[in-house]
Amino acid sequence: MEMIDYAKQAISHFKIPQDYSSCTPYGNGHINATFCITYPNEKYIMQAINQNAFKHPEQVISNIARVTEFLRAKREDPRSVMKLIETTDGEKLYRDDDNHFWRVYSFVENSLCLDLPESTEDFRQCAIAFGCFQHDLSTFPAEELFETIPDFHNTPKRYEAFLAALEADAFGRAAEVEKEIKFVKDRVDFYSTLFDAHEKGELPLRVTHNDTKSNNVLLDASTRKALCVIDLDTIMPGFSVNDFGDSIRSGANTAAEDERDLSKVHFNLELFKAYADGFLQGCEGGLTSSEIMLLPEGAKMMTIECGMRFLTDYLSGDTYFRTSRPGQNLDRCRTQFKLVEEMEAAWDDMKESVKKYL
């Protein structure tokens, strides 16, 4: 049976009307199976949680339920917070007979989801959304959250996983990616930078989103202002600078994440600056001076880590990130490394640009 058939069967287990017009695959996420259920006057998002990535779906949904309730109490606009729909049994997850875990969200209507921001102002609005998210969760009790993917942004451990995949070379692909392997190995001293800062007391653990790419935030389609942060599966304790950085690697790129023509891929310093401005505005002064000074490190860390993860997945036979063509993870890896190179070239400007917020 295809996932779409499972999805259609799952609909009857949620408190939503049964006379839907269509149920179709939706969006460009790399992890979950996402479907849009449409009716003449409303829509819902239905997702099967990816259990290769998330070993404990009930912990994922527990985090999301707690965080969305907490945020709802702080926000006036109901469209600004994701809303889970209950199952007919009053639960938040439905487990089907073949062990898929399904959840349903209200569709955030009249919104824009951009794989790549279309203007500097779009990107600033994404930054405001994630900055406000950081700020609004600053008083959330972090100890109540499950770690849904252990060591998710532990870059030194990601490096270890990369070395293990390289050693195994299970698909005989290492020989064709020598340049990329060298790129990762050459930067080994950088990977512990944020953990070292944390050890020294310079980088606090906070409640963070951990997957802040541009298509995980919605803008209002009428005003193009920040509307709603989505994809809440990875909310866990983490570093604010990584939330900043993951947005930079995805949105301050002049081309698509999987662009094959690397001459089109550039790190846009103006977008970096605009995002820093919007993010810090959203955080409302909540970040410490050392966090502000480490924003460039967050950008470079998330970019190289993501590239390393794509390369690891390529070496391991493309089992983690969804792909739609052969070689896509390698193309994704190469765009990230091109961005890292350009960040390194722009490093002094990046560091200088955040000083004015101290």
List the one residue out of 311, 334, 338, 30 whose CA is nearest residue 173: 311
Nearest approach, Cβ of residue 345 and Mg ion (Å)? 30
Closest CA to 3 of 20, 15, 14, 26: 26
Q: Does 53 bind ligand GN1 (CB under 6 A)?
A: yes
Q: Report the run of H or E that residue 94 belongs to, with start and end.
A: strand 94-95
Q: Which region, judged by CB under 6 A, interacts with ligand GN1, from 78-86, 128-136, 210-218, 338-346?
A: 210-218
Containing H/E element for 36?
Answer: strand 33-38
Q: Judge contact between 147 and 248, C-beta under 8 A.
A: no
Q: Cα separation of 81 and 70, whole Å?
A: 10
Q: How many residues does the chain have?
A: 358
Assign 313 to helix, strand or coil.
Answer: helix
* CA–CA distance, 353 with 276 (Å, rounded to integer): 9
Cβ proximity to ligand ADP: between 32 and 312 the closer is 32
Which of ligand GN1, ligand ADP, Mg ion, none binds 34 (CB below 5-8 Å, type-dependent)?
Answer: ligand ADP
Work out how close the CB of 216 gets to Mg ion at its nearest, in angstroms, rounded to a whole number. Answer: 5
Q: Which range, of 31-39, 135-143, 274-282, 293-301, touches ligand ADP by CB under 6 A? A: 31-39
Interface with ligand GN1 in residues 97-136 (CB under 6 A): none
Pair of tokens at residue 222: 């009428």
Least Å from the CB of residue 221 to ligand ADP: 11
What residues line the site for Mg ion (CB under 5 A)? 29, 216, 231
Q: By CB under 6 A, tell whether 297 contacts ligand GN1.
A: no
**Comparison of 80 and 303: residue with beta carbon closer to ligand GN1:** 303
Where residue 8 falls (left for φ over 0; alpha for ψ -120 to 50; beta otherwise) is alpha
Would you state the structure tokens that stand for residue 96, as one six-digit string?
Answer: 């089907």
323 binding ligand ADP? (CB under 6 A): no
The token duo for 101 is 């875990």
What is the rounded CA–CA span in Å between residue 133 and residue 81? 10
What, of Mg ion, ligand GN1, ligand ADP, none, does residue 306 touch, CB below 5 to 8 Å by kind? ligand GN1
Q: Which region, judged by CB under 6 A, interacts with ligand ADP, from 100-108, 123-131, 288-296, 302-310?
A: 100-108
Binding site for ligand GN1 (CB under 6 A): 29-31, 53, 211, 213, 216, 231, 233-234, 246, 257, 306, 321
Binding site for ligand ADP (CB under 6 A): 26-32, 34, 45, 82, 105, 107-108, 111, 113, 215-216, 230-231, 233
